[in-house]
Structure 1
Amino acid sequence: MHSLYQNTRFLTGATSLKGMPEDTGREVAFAGRSNAGKSSALNRICHQKSLARTSKTPGRTQQINFFQVADGRYLVDLPGYGFARVPGGLQREWGAFIGRYLQHRRSLVGLIVLMDIRRPLTSLDEQLLDLCAQACIPVHILLTKADKLSRSASLAALRELKKQLQARGYSASAQCFSATRGTGLEEVQELLDRWLEAESA
């Protein structure tokens, strides 16, 4: 078990830039469609069952949640996008909020974008990747729920995604991931170590 992340704790939630912790240190944010399994991935990465709230109702995370890994090191859970049960005006408001965070947060060193391996690279995903490209934010994609496909089908989906990313000019890296089985867990933890410049305990 990677012991660094098992001590991660919830720090605070914010609904405005002013409500966020001081903009110092290093942080990695997690973003994705509301049904991409973002909370489950965060919980698995941190070896905790209820660090990030999971729900069968997409879009439950309605604020930016900050989790402290160590002194000056944070993981950030962004509100899911594309949820259908939220009024359009509120969706736009949250979208603008996330955009301001990505563009202005100096301590943000990378973004993990989660996509359901069966429905990757939607138009909303592409909008987020465009925004990250404009803000020069490094991106790593987790193709979640890889346990829903066979190993060969998962690898084929990953190859196809990489081909599409290259064709569209995105420089994001990508991997398969399963919160249920732990597929790809060490790979994403090692990436987080590099981005956070943290060493395992």
Structure 2
Amino acid sequence: MTAVGAAAVALSGCASPIVTTNDTGQQTAPPPAATASTRPSNDKLVNAFDFYTRTDEAHSAYYFTSPSGSWRCVIVPRTWAGCQSSAGTGRIGIAGAPQTVTDDTGQSVAPNAILVRTQGDPQFASVPADQFKQPAGTANTLPFNKILAAAGFRCNVQQEAGISCLSEQTGSGFTFSNAGVSWQYTDVP
């Protein structure tokens, strides 16, 4: 499946497309799926229902913000998990991010998000800002060193490492801060 095809599947039923590429524009092999010896921890889980919002009969998501308030993140059940700057600048704000990603029409656009899908490599993307805003009220803060595991994904925030998200199906994930990105999940110690 192409990135464009994956984007269409990711937001089927939504009006706004997601546009993606990886950090170098090249395909990379995903890390191996978690095994019994590398399985992420479950001893620091938060109650996922504290982050859940049902938007309508067909759509629901798990929303959270970083403790600093600098990042808004979402887990779209069985589809994707990702984060976007709260600054609303239209750019991702991560050192080393590409200047542009290619949208489904072949146009170059600035990346404003980082995400991992159920299948495939984590990527920088261009995602409409409303995808990261909780429709009603304010999203809860995910505390440092706690894990939100929901609908096939897990995310955490660590003071030193940054924000990390993982597709539990493939073991692919990312860890990022303003200083840069690593294309792997970092578990809470």
Q: Which TM-score applies when normalising by structure 2?
A: 0.29
More helix by share: 1
Q: Which TM-score applies when normalising by structure 1?
A: 0.28
Structure ID, larger Rg: 1
